[in-house]
Chains A and B, each alone.
Chain A
Amino acid sequence: MLLTQNEDTIVALATPAGVGAISVIRVSGPLSFSAADKIFAGKIKIADSASHTIHYGKIYDSRGELIDDVLVSVFKAPNSYTGEDSIEISTHGSQLIVQKIIRVLIENGVRLAEPGEFTKRAFLNGRLDLAQAEAVADVINSRTEASLKGARNQLNGLLSQKIEALREMLINSSSLIELELDFAEENIEFVSLNEVKKNIESIIGEIDRLLESYSFGKVIKDGVNVALVGVPNVGKSSLLNYILKESRAIVSEIPGTTRDIIREEVSIDGILFKLYDTAGIRLTEDIIEKEGVYRSRDAVRNSDIVIFINDAVNGFSLELFNELLELTSENRIIKIANKIDLKPDVNFSNDVKVSAKTGEGMDLLFKKLKIKALGTESYSEKTAIVTNLRHYNALLKAKEFLLNAVESINSKMTGEFIAVDLRNAESSLGEIIGKVTTDDILNNIFAKFCIGK
């Protein structure tokens, strides 16, 4: 039974398994302090120390042998992550030490935590709502700073706030409609259905923005694939090298699956870009290079963005460009004129003029990459973004219902029919933050309108 489970004290390694400078072991539950005091020797007892304090000391095993010098952080209920008494033990980074400490804790009445159990307890103790609990998983899995920020924003309730605001707008519209239905005999100055429609349409607009954010939310979480394409000697390698130098390369040169394609991962403004260098391979059918050509085509097909590099001196490679158009859509392509240090006045159409040698124009290229990746320039840490598929689907559903409602208004259906879809939409939004109630609508009516009879 869960009741007894919650009486349990649980332990787990909180940092990734493997060798690091330090490892952190997390313990949560009623026995946290007493179990710690049985194995830990410091200046004062853990049980006697104040919440949110850190203590240096030594941990011994059951035979009294020293395991490690450690720091113990103390969090008292309810002011901890889980809402329970909990401690975090920072040890030197060694698998052996970690295993020994966990073992000695288990010997003292603590049990190993199940996956996600700390977060589950936090949720059960009301420390996190559903959307926040989901965000925890994202924080843990985030690989770049933006992805971490996105997840943290959600953890702070940014998306929840946004959804709540939309829900409120929707409840306002519903209230107007219900008012007319339930107080048929009142001389209520009813706002026209056109007004309601406008309101619904503006909510759809907001939902669209959130839906769009899913694509860059995903980008932020999973990264974006970029293929570098160009005929030989347009300066692809120097451009790649410049990008690697100027951005923070996360992994330098992951060996490609073939000898022809090199993949690099870089982070630009926190967004993960996976760069595929097609290494001078032309796309034209050539028997000798057939295998390589095949792979390059694949790389282009699978890329979210294609950087198409041209030589400012030698002109635009129209033939290659046309071939690209067969593999990807034009709006995914960034046309670059490279080597403008040699020829500043470029006489073909392009998106960015750069010099990989001097660095001129590279800022603009980075900006273009970001816009292409996110679909927007306006993304900031404060933007509510959707990174979770469940949320995305609920929003999609809400939008569908709202479109139905607009359709109902257009076809002159009366309030009770419009209300069906508004309620469904509201419930879909409510599902994201875990709220569904019909009372909200009625309460709103009473708060805002005059009713008699």
Chain B
Amino acid sequence: MKYFDVIIVGGGHAGIEAASVASRMGCSTAIVTMDKNAIGRMSCNPAIGGSAKGHLVHEIDALGGEMGLIADRSGIQFRTLNKSKGPAVWAGRSQNDRKLYSIEALKVVEKINNLEIIEDSIIDAIEEDKKINGVKLKSGSEIACKALIVCSGTFLNGLMHTGLKSTKGGRFGEAPAVGLTESLIKMGFVSGRLKTGTPPRLKKESINWDILEEQPGDVPPLPFSLRTNKNEFPVLPQLSCYITYTDKSVHKILEKGFDQSPMFTGLIEGVGPRYCPSIEDKIVRFADKERHQLFLEPEGLDSDQIYINGFSTSLPAEIQFEALRKIKGLESVEMVRPGYAVEYDYFPPYQIDLTLETKLIEGLYFAGQINGTSGYEEAAGQGIIAGINAALKIQKRKEFVLKRHEAYIGVLIDDLVGKSTNEPYRMFTSRAEHRLLIRQDNADRRLMKYGYEFGLIPKDLYNELKENEILILKTKELVSNVKIKPERVNPILSKFGTQEIANSETIDKLAKRPEVSLLELIKQIDENEYPLVKAIKINPKVIEQVEIETKYEGYIKRQEELIARMEKLEKLTIPINFNYLNLKTISAEGKEKLNKIRPRSVGQASRISGVTPADISVLLVYLKN
């Protein structure tokens, strides 16, 4: 029988990361996918990143993952969102050529030595004594393994809906995965149903572009990955997106189809995301809104299709078409294919641990939509953690768990396990209580050490980071010690439109003023007296980091204050075999949830929905006794 250390089910965004890290960490690895050319296929939006999701991409990159690299190579527009706000919420977003993204993803996977692609479908997982030891394929053969990572996306018993018509499948034109859910249920797992949707695709030349509002990319565009060669970036020509709006007449047409909506007629049982609602959902829930914004996004450089972001729907195709034609710029639009909703199985994530290994079966990992998340980036973030942990376990090394204060990935997994979502989970910056600390710009400073430790980050890149760290420390010391005289700095202060000074002042004090640039201040230091200045001036990364930490010091301190309060509870661990059922005094719901999730710390317990503050107080009293 064939054997692999790690088998990955599915070649989507979670599967790619899991496969890449597991194989590069030295495990013989196989991806089982129905179609090799579907590896890295973008099922929905031809875009990577966005608010909070951009953070995830940078974190995956710092750990040594692939998503940022693939996005950089296939990107046809790059923008930094929230640029008018502070650096903590800046977020990279790229439009990608859908076809090229998939091609680049396949290239990545094919390049890795001990990674094999098997075109098949897994119908059964085999365990012995609660330990995974192989899989059974649809083609009839069996493969042995030590770890199985399930990244099945929307394919487990996938069912697509357009109007009252439904078709079995995980994605347009692709068959569902049948058998694996049942196999997992037999092992004792509990499954649920979720729903997500995608908008119609439009014919490019049927759109009246001249009357639409253009949204070009940033100049110059910024790549996601630290490993992308800046001199050869962007690789592809850059395109714009366009903006249009629905109006009342559009809403009226859509309403006509409500009696044939699989959502409203109860045909779809799965719970959909509140924050990425279908257009029909938006009309019903926000009845007083007269219009909704829509983005027309290119599907690719030579694609004749346009993705209409914001118009996700599962209404009958005729209704979709009629409504589209009422939208400004789309008066004579042609619809290449209608939007649809897809329903799929997921496994409520209380069943996994923070390593993404299931609590029930050793060696079995879940990553991506199977855990109830939505979005490529959320999936990829889990994929990399599952892959790393599978490899670590096989190599008998210590598990790898990112803390909430370290990374959005940490927040994501802690939320999943602790809150066990029952609707698709999407990342937001507001989910991270450490928002000011875990930024895109410092993802490398937070996480690259781990990537390097696991052999996923090249040595030269890591050395550069370490050198920068030293320079950052020295720069901080310098700016807090060196004072500049008024006559030297006042011209600059007045140039920035801020108050001049009467007495000499340290650089860090002046740099705290929002309008003032640190680089300009550093330029005022005498290089002969402080030779370090030369090295600082040519290192924008160091200046950026010192500037952010200086300017926002007060806020960062106050954020840390809040965190410190919570930290106390994080440090209080709960014995793994703690008997919650004996606690008569905890609410019934709290008891059930605690028993199900088995939190590792009181902090984790306190974040579980349904566990009340009173329950936590009681738990504290018990633990102290």
Contacts and interface: CB of A to CB of B under 8 A. Distances in A.
B277 A451 contact: yes
A442 B428 contact: yes
B274 A446 contact: yes
Contacts of B289: 450
A416 B435 contact: yes
Nearest to A129: B614
Contacts of A6: 584-585
Contacts of B625: 1-3, 5
A416 B436 contact: yes
Residue among B433, B558, B607 with the highest chain A CB neighbour number at 10 A:
B558
Contact of A416 (B50, B86, B309, B587): B86
Given A421-B558, A453-B276, A435 B285 contact: no
A417 interface: yes
A5 B585 CA distance: 13
Given A184-B91, A411-B514, A414-B84, A420 B419 contact: no
A12 to B, nearest CB: 20
Nearest to A187: B293
A184 B82 contact: yes
Nearest to B79: A185
B575 interface: no
Nearest to B47: A453
A3 B436 CA distance: 42
Interface string B328-361: 0000000000000000000000000000000000
A410 to B, nearest CB: 12
B286 A450 contact: yes
Interface in A159-211: 178, 181-187
Given A182-B51, A182-B52, A125 B585 contact: yes
A414 B555 CA distance: 12
Given A2-B622, A438-B430, A181 B50 contact: no
A441 interface: yes
Contact of A412 (B50, B514, B562, B613): B514
Interface string B305-317: 0000110000000
Nearest to A179: B430
A453 B591 CA distance: 37
B36 interface: no
B328 to A, nearest CB: 14
A181 B582 CA distance: 44
Contact of A438 (B91, B285, B431): B431
A182 B429 contact: yes
Interface residues of B, number: 57
A54 interface: no
Contact of B86 (A125, A414, A439): A414
A130 B606 CA distance: 16
Nearest to A397: B561
A344 interface: no
B530 interface: no
Interface residues of A, number: 49
A126 interface: yes
Contacts of B606: 436
A126 B590 CA distance: 12
A331 interface: no
Interface in A424-453: 424, 427, 433-439, 441-442, 445-446, 450-453
A439 B566 contact: no
B582 to A, nearest CB: 6
Contacts of A419: 430, 435
Contact of B562 (A125, A424, A442): A424
A129 B279 CA distance: 43
B295 interface: yes
Nearest to B278: A452
B512 to A, nearest CB: 11
B88 A423 contact: no
A421 to B, nearest CB: 7
A123 interface: yes
A181 B275 contact: no
B103 interface: no
Grouping DSSP codes into helix (H, G, I), strand (E, B) and loop, the A interface class, with mixed when no group exceeds half, is helix
Contacts of A423: 433, 562
B552 interface: yes
B514 A413 contact: yes
A416 B607 contact: no
A452 B310 contact: yes
B138 interface: no
Given A2-B625, A178-B430, A404-B558, A416 B295 contact: no
Interface string B215-242: 0000000000000000000000000000
Given A6-B585, A126-B585, A439-B609, A181 B558 contact: no
Given A6-B585, A427-B565, A442-B431, A450 B292 contact: yes
A185 B582 contact: no
B81 interface: yes
A81 to B, nearest CB: 15
B523 to A, nearest CB: 25
Contacts of A433: 613
Contact of B275 (A124, A404, A427, A446): A446
B168 interface: no
Nearest to B428: A182
Nearest to A439: B609
Given A2-B621, A414-B86, A421-B558, A441 B430 contact: yes
A61 B596 CA distance: 50
Given A186-B293, A419-B435, A453 B561 contact: no
A28 to B, nearest CB: 14
A170 to B, nearest CB: 14
Interface of B: 50-52, 81-82, 84-86, 88-89, 91, 245, 274-277, 279, 282, 285-286, 289, 292-293, 295, 309-310, 419, 428-431, 433, 435-436, 514, 552, 555, 558-559, 561-562, 565-566, 582, 584-585, 587, 606-607, 609, 613-614, 617-618, 621-622, 625
14 contacts: A126-B587, A178-B430, A182-B429, A413-B86, A416-B89, A416-B435, A420-B555, A424-B558, A439-B609, A450-B285, A452-B275, A452-B279, A452-B293, A453-B310
The 10 closest A-B pairs by CB, nearest first: A450-B286, A414-B85, A434-B613, A2-B625, A178-B430, A187-B293, A182-B428, A124-B585, A184-B81, A446-B274
Given A2-B621, A124-B618, A453-B276, 8 more contacts: A182-B52, A401-B558, A404-B558, A414-B89, A416-B86, A420-B562, A436-B606, A452-B293
